[in-house]
Structure 1
């Protein structure tokens, strides 16, 4: 499988649709090595080129495509995956018309491709349990064990579900009970 095919495979797995060659926009044909169009959440037009294409030709192709998209009143962002890298001056010229996603290697592996096109791929979120951990109330109950759970523990744990003010009030009540104090204010007239 060629590097261009591998880039297309990564894009297709992310929901992009491969476009036929040559790419045709407003009747004009553009002979990029490959192109894909975003579907669903992404509307990017992704072009794929290698270092085998002379840079001046690539610059003319990208500039012509940009003009054709303007004529068609297209709002699609254009990204160019450039396999084999580019000099800074070539890249600056290309960036006038498209977001350039360079891949330095002429024969990249999948990880390099995914890193280069990461801005086009959906986010991979970690498992919610790993991010947020387990339920803290269940963790405390498990740490206490069934034999160590007193009514005071249960009151504090239950208050935790209602927030910090509820815990503060439960702790105040616990301390008052331990000291033998009540919440009633004594009426002292003298």
Structure 2
């Protein structure tokens, strides 16, 4: 498998769709070594080229493609994966039209390719670990310290599981009971 095929394989693994050669945009053909377009979350149009393509030809291809995409009113960002060495001046010129993702090695392994195209790949997040805690009431009581918990304290803490409004209601009832008010008496003063 060639380095271009390896790059395309990594992109395919990330959900990109390989495009047939030559790439045709707005009726014009562009002979890149490979191309792929993003699906799902990525909308990039990714071009793959090696240092075997003369820099002037590569620049003309990228500029022409960028102009054709503009004419076609495409909103796809253009990325160029470049396998092999490139002169700084050539890279600067290419970066005017596309995001350049260089791979210095002419025979990169999968890790090198993934590192170079990481901006195009979905993030790999660590698997979530489920932790079963203890009873929240016990945790809150432990945080409060050596306070003798009454049934009223526990009722307020349990109301928290139903949200802020449930806590307000439980606290209102607790305060009304302490003042000797009933709901009917309390509503008259509101």
TM-score, normalised with respect to structure 2: 0.71
Instruction: Name the SS of the counterpart of 1:60 in structure 2.
Output: helix
Shift of 1:73: 1.2
- Counterpart of 2:55 in structure 1 is 55
Query: C-alpha distance in 2, partners of 1:116/1:20?
Result: 23
Query: C-alpha distance in 2, partners of 1:108/1:160?
Result: 56
1:74 and 2:74 correspond: yes
- Counterpart of 2:123 in structure 1 is 123
Structure 2 unaligned spans of 5+: 139-148, 168-177, 180-190
Structure 1 unaligned spans of 5+: 145-149, 167-182, 185-190
Instruction: Name the SS of the counterpart of 2:60 in structure 1.
Output: helix
Shift of 1:161: 6.3
> Does the C-alpha gap of structure 1 residues 6 and 17 become closer, same or farther in structure 2, counting only changes over 3 Å?
same
- Counterpart of 2:19 in structure 1 is 19
Query: C-alpha distance in 1, partners of 2:150/2:51?
Result: 73
1:30 and 2:30 correspond: yes
- Counterpart of 2:145 in structure 1 is none
Shift of 1:70: 1.2
Runs of 4+ in 1 over 4 A off after TM superposition: 157-163
Query: C-alpha distance in 1, partners of 2:2/2:57?
Result: 21
Query: C-alpha distance in 1, partners of 2:94/2:79?
Result: 10
Tell me the alpha carbon deviations over residues 19-52 of structure 1, each in whole angstroms, 9 at most, x when there is no partner.
0101111111111000001112211100000111
The count of residues paired between Structure 1 and Structure 2 equals: 164
Shift of 1:85: 3.3
Query: C-alpha distance in 2, partners of 1:118/1:78?
Result: 15
Pairwise mapping of residues 35-184 of structure 1 onto structure 2 (< 5 A)? 35-127=35-127, 129-130=128-129, 134=131, 138-140=132-134
TM-score, normalised with respect to structure 1: 0.71
Query: C-alpha distance in 1, partners of 2:21/2:54?
Result: 19
